[in-house]
Amino acid sequence: MSVTLPISGAVQSAVAELLAELYAKSGCEKFGLGSESLAAILCAVAAKYLPAETSEPEVCVFLRTLRVDELALARACAAGDNSAWEIFLTRYREKLYQTALRIAREESAARDLADSLYAELYGTNLRDGARVSKLESFTGRGSLEGWLRTVLAQEFVNRYRRSKRLVSLDEEVEDGVQFAAPEPELVSTADSRLESSTDAALAGLSSEDRFVLAAYYLDGRTLAEVARMVGVHESTISRKLEKLAKSLRKKIVANMMQQGVDRPTAEEALEVDVRDLQVNIRRSLGQETRAAAFSEKENPLNFKQEIAPRAKSLEETEI
């Protein structure tokens, strides 16, 4: 455990109360994990996810949602228990490779991806002279299998971003547009009222609505994919998008009118932007949302500067 979080009294008493029950459920015994170690693990997990002021009954509810059996298996593996590793490998080895193949879509890259994850799971990283397995960080919030898939996906996204960046730099040089003049602003921000109206309209949406919008329009996910991520039916997403598109348009126009823009002008501003930007963003979406990635978050301005020349080069190659 990297950071030792303060453990509240409520958590301690809740863990103490449920320990016997959870210990039996977890099957820790098989892996030679004592009830004290399980208690320590549970306390750490609860402290990590629950705010300090959580009451004891709430902690109990939380503890019961944990997958203690898989948690025990993962932690036993992390501790180097052989029987635990045997179980882990028979259960997940094949699935892990299959998932890697599905994510990477290519045999060698998939094997590479899966192998590097295995290395992390075995614990090649050393801390204080001891191997630290990535399984140590599994907390049983979701299924172990799902966690493995997520970890693989994270690893893949990280790599993809790195390699993408390299490739695109090469392309820039080859295309000879390295020194191309920076593209004019994607959106003519002449009318700041449009921008602020849009922000206000977006802020009025629920996070789920914004998630659905971003996943569909920015990431280019299919309706089915978005539906699966949110856990609803495809048709629900379709209806939601339809409704959102309409209501956003209406709200933005209304917001602009509040700021003293008359309706025809507001509607025109909205339409003009749509036509102008349609091409650009579709392209930059396909190419750049992935590459933008983590760095962008620290420095959002970088992002725009990075895309501009690349979007330009794309346009030229297609012409």
* Helices assigned H by DSSP within the chain: 9-26, 35-49, 56-65, 68-78, 82-104, 107-122, 144-175, 192-203, 207-213, 223-230, 234-258, 263-298, 300-318
Tell how strand 125-127 and strand 130-132 pair up.
Answer: antiparallel
Specify the residue, 86 or 195, whose C-beta has the smaller distance to another protein: 195
Tokens representing 151 are 């970890």
Q: Which stretch binds another protein (CB under 8 A): 15-23, 78-86, 120-128, 144-152?
A: 144-152
Q: Which of residues 44-63 bind another protein (CB under 8 A)?
A: 49, 62
Specify the residue, 119 or 178, whose C-beta has the smaller distance to another protein: 119
Residue 7 C-beta: closest distance to another protein, Å = 18
Tokens representing 246 are 């309409």
Q: How many residues bind another protein (CB under 8 A)?
A: 76
Residue 67 C-beta: closest distance to another protein, Å = 9
Q: What residue has token string 């509810």? A: 61
Residue 93 C-beta: closest distance to another protein, Å = 17
77 makes contact with another protein (CB under 8 A): no
Specify the residue, 145 or 175, whose C-beta has the smaller distance to another protein: 145
300 makes contact with another protein (CB under 8 A): yes
Closest CA to 139 of 199, 74, 225: 74
Q: Which of residues 157-176 bind another protein (CB under 8 A)?
A: 157, 161
Residue 174 C-beta: closest distance to another protein, Å = 27
Specify the residue, 38 or 241, whose C-beta has the smaller distance to another protein: 241
Tokens representing 238 are 């379709």
Site string for another protein, 82-111 (x = CB under 8 A): -----------------x--xx--------
What crossing angle do the helices spanning 144-175 and 107-122 adopt, rounded to 10°?
A: 130
